[in-house]
Amino acid sequence: MTKDTDALVAIKRILSPHCRVVRMSGGALIADWRRTRFLGMTTADIRKLADGTPAERAELVTALVHAGCAAPHRKRCTDAETGRWLCAVHLLIRTLGFGRVLRLLSLAAPDYARADPPDAEDVARLKRAVQSRARSSWFANDDCKTEAVTAFVLLRRYGLQATLHVGVREHPFALHAWTTAAGLSIPDADPRGHAFAPVLSIDRGGR
C-alpha cells in the first residue's frame, strides 16, 4: 500500500498541471482536463513506478509523454546559451522598453508544463550562470531587469514554474526586478540589503 501511494505521488509530479490522478480499485485514473479525456493505469503499472527497473519506469513515463499527459524534461541551458539569452533580452529591453518586453513574455516563456517543482540545485546553477555572465558582459552590464527576465524565460523553457517580480523602494526611490523559483531569487530580491516591495508579479507567461 505504501509503495502504491509513493507511486501515485510520483505520477502527480510527472503529470502536466492540467492533469489529475485519482486512485481507483483497479489502479488509477488520469483526468486530462485540457483534452477532456480520461486514461487508466493498472495497479501493475503503478507498482512499476514504485519498484520497477529504470527501463520499466522510463517506458511508463515515455507513454505518458506520448499521450500528452506529461512533458519531457528539457535539456539544461549551457552557460554560453545563457550568455546569448542575456544579450538578446538586454537588446529587446533597450529597443522596446521593459514594459513591452513584459507583455511579450507569453511568446518566449510558455506556461510551465511540468508538475514537479523546480530543483533548488538547478535554480542555483542558473543563478550563478546568469549573474556571472551579466557581470562579465559589457553589453548586459549587470542589469537586474535583464537578469530577471532571462532567468524567467529560461526556467519556463525548462518547463518549470517561476515568478517574475518588479518591486519599488521609496527612500531613495528605486525600481528592481527579480525572478523567484525554488525559494531562490535571480538576481537577489534585496540587493545590498535594500528591501523592495513587489508591485507587479508575473507567474504565467505574460500574465
Q: What is the pLDDT of residues 156-168, one digit of tens each?
A: 887 788 999 999 9
Domain of 143 in residue numbering reads as 79-202
- Looking at the domain assignment, is residue 197 inside a domain? yes
Are 156 and 91 contained in the same domain? yes
Domain count, the chain: 2
What's this model's pTM, rounded to 2 decimal places?
Answer: 0.66
Q: Which residue has 527501463 as its cell numbers? A: 55
**Which of 66, 88, 111 delimits the end of a domain?**
66
Instruction: Taking residues 105-125, report their average pLDDT.
Output: 77
Instruction: Taking residues 40-50, report their average pLDDT.
Output: 82
- Looking at the domain assignment, is residue 191 inside a domain? yes
